[in-house]
Every structure is written in C-alpha cells, then in structure tokens.
Amino acid sequence: MKNNAMVKALLRASIIAITASAWVCGSAETISQTGTLANPEDSVLINLSLVSDGSVTLQTYGFGGGTNAAGTVIAPGGFDPFVGIFAGTGSSAVFLNGTSDVLTNYSPGCPPAGAIAIGSIPGQCGDVNLLFPDLAAGTYTVLLSDAAYLPNAVFEASPGLLGDGFADLTGGVFQTCYDADDCNTDTANWALDITTSAGATPPPVPEPPAVELAGMGIAFAAAWIYRRSRRGGLIQGGTR
C-alpha cells in the first residue's frame, strides 16, 4: 500500500501560501496566520520552536469568522478545521493532542470566533480552541486540516506519528452538515492564532515540501463509522 503512487500523492502535505503576523501581549506571544488549502485533502504543517517551558493555545477563525489577534477581520464561511500538535518534526513527530467538530473531544472556539447558521440551523460553532497547558521547551509541529481529514494518530492506542497518514472522510468536498437537510458548502480559507507563554523563535513557517505521510491502516475503519454530521455519529478522539 505504501508503495502505491496514488496513495503517496493523497498523503502528501502541500505547501500553502501563508500570511503571518506576530503580536506580543504581556508575557504571551500570538502568531496569526491565514491561508487557503488547495483541496480538502490538503494540510498545513507549521514548525513551532519554544524557547522555554510554557503553554500553547490554538484558536481558529476560518469557519465562523471574527477578529484575530493581529486585528484582521476574518470572513466567515471557511471549512471547519482539525488542529493539533505533534512533538518534533517530520514523519517521526509524536502526536500529543488534536480536535475537530467531528470528534468526541471537540473543544469549541466560539467565542472568540463567530457562530453561523448551517443550513437552516442558526448559531453553530465549527472553530476550535485547544489549550496545551504545559509543553516543554523544544520543537513541535502544528497541523491544520479539514475537520474530516484526520491524522491516523488520533485513533491509535499507542502514541501515533505524523507519518502515520490521514483518514480521508471529506468525500472530496469542503462541506459541513448539521443533518442530511442542512449543509453548507465551505470555502478553502483558514485562519489560526498560535498563542504561547513560552515565546516562539523563529516564527512558525511551513514544513519543507514533499513531506511523505505514509500509512492508511486505520483510515478505512474510521471511514466506516463516520457520519458527516455535527450532531450524532461523532468519531471517538482521545487525548494523549
């Protein structure tokens, strides 16, 4: 399976044009980033180097919109994201935790992000606020992808790796559904604030191109139990 060229192409993380701004407030530093995915099977890998022990918070704005830490107004209508952190870089980076609104460990980020209607159902949150309260100084990888393009590491009992690949449950479209009759067609836009009390140097940058993320072992099991609904049928996701 890993030698199949189509599988390798599916699991390759693309490099995306990213804009970033860094803002310091007291002892905390926030780096605001925005961008656009090439397709629902795309992902963003951001290297984060902490100069001391401290906390890291991931906050998205792309789905519901809002004003990020850089003061930029983010329009609503982007895809609902998955975000998480791996310790280290490259395929051997170890999964710490991550969430999206299709996982049972979903950590809503509204507010500060906005809540919008999904079909005829108002006031729905799809953005994420995820806190890592105690990370050691070192290098980490932040992953952002579509809520239904999930790293296989989420489902693994033992510590999973970035190189374990993805479960692709998107159906090839950016779409969020409350139920079968209430769906939004999302844009490919995303926005992410990374706030750390530890200081980050240098500012996060995209992972070098052609990072192979091999492995499909659990993808089919995950796809089998998946329902692209925000209520009911949610996939189990764990915290390391």
Residues spanned by the domain of 192: 5-225
This prediction has a pTM of 0.78
Residue 134 domain-assigned? yes
Q: Supply the pLDDT for residue 73.
A: 97
Number of domains the chain is built from: 1
Residue 238 domain-assigned? no
Q: Supply the pLDDT for residue 234.
A: 53
Segments in the chain below pLDDT 50: 1-26, 202-233, 239-240
DSSP state of 13: E
Residue 53 domain-assigned? yes
Residue 231 domain-assigned? no
Alpha-helical (H) ranges within the chain are: 5-10, 219-225
Q: Supply the pLDDT for residue 228.
A: 39
List b or e across 137-150, with b for residues whose CB sees 16 or more CB atoms inside 10 angstroms: eeebbbbbbbbbbb
Residue 233 domain-assigned? no
Q: Supply the pLDDT for residue 174.
A: 94
Identify residue 140 by its one-letter amino acid code: Y
Q: Supply the pLDDT for residue 65.
A: 97
Residue 60 domain-assigned? yes
User: For the chain, what's the residue count?
Assistant: 240
In whole angstroms, give the CA distance from residue 91 to residue 129. Answer: 25
Residue 99 domain-assigned? yes
Residue 151 domain-assigned? yes
